[in-house]
């Protein structure tokens, strides 16, 4: 009996991702997502922030720049996640690239 499909490849993984890749040097992305709340209301989440950025200071700058409310949420699996009111994906991306973060590290998800 021969079973061919028990290898460690994930058909839904992105091109550079591997299941047995345990290296810490793998590229970590900054994920910006939008979630639908109720009606027309949306919530933008930012996760995967590098350690050199302080999430509270970044949140304060976002709130002042984008004129929206936000909060830093501590998640068990994801770490610190920044949540902002409204669809702020493109504004966050532009802000972070202007502050010196490479655009290749930022992934924008949603609609």
- pLDDT, tens digit, 9 for 90 and up, residues 22-63: 444 445 899 999 999 999 999 999 999 988 889 999 999 999
pLDDT tens digits along 69-104: 999 999 888 889 999 999 999 999 999 999 999 999
- The Cα-based distances of 41 to 36, 59, 68, 72, 86 in angstroms read 6, 20, 13, 19, 7
Q: What is the pTM of this model?
A: 0.72
- Alpha carbon 66 to chain centroid distance? 18
pLDDT of residue 51: 87
Backbone angles phi, psi at 59, to 5 degrees: -60, -40
Spatial CB neighbours of 52, under 8 Å, sequence gap ≥ 6: none
């Amino acid at each position: 009996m021969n079973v061919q499909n028990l290898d460690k490849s994930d058909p839904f993984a992105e091109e550079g991702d591997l299941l047995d890749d345990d290296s810490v040097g793998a590229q970590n992305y900054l994920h910006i997502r939008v979630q639908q709340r109720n009606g027309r209301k949306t919530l933008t989440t930012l996760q995967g922030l590098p350690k050199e950025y302080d999430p509270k200071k970044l949140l304060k700058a976002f709130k002042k720049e984008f004129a929206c409310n936000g909060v830093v949420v501590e998640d068990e699996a994801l770490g610190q996640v920044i949540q902002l009111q409204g669809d702020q994906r493109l504004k966050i991306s532009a802000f972070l690239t202007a502050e010196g973060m490479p655009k290749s590290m930022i992934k924008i998800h949603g609609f």
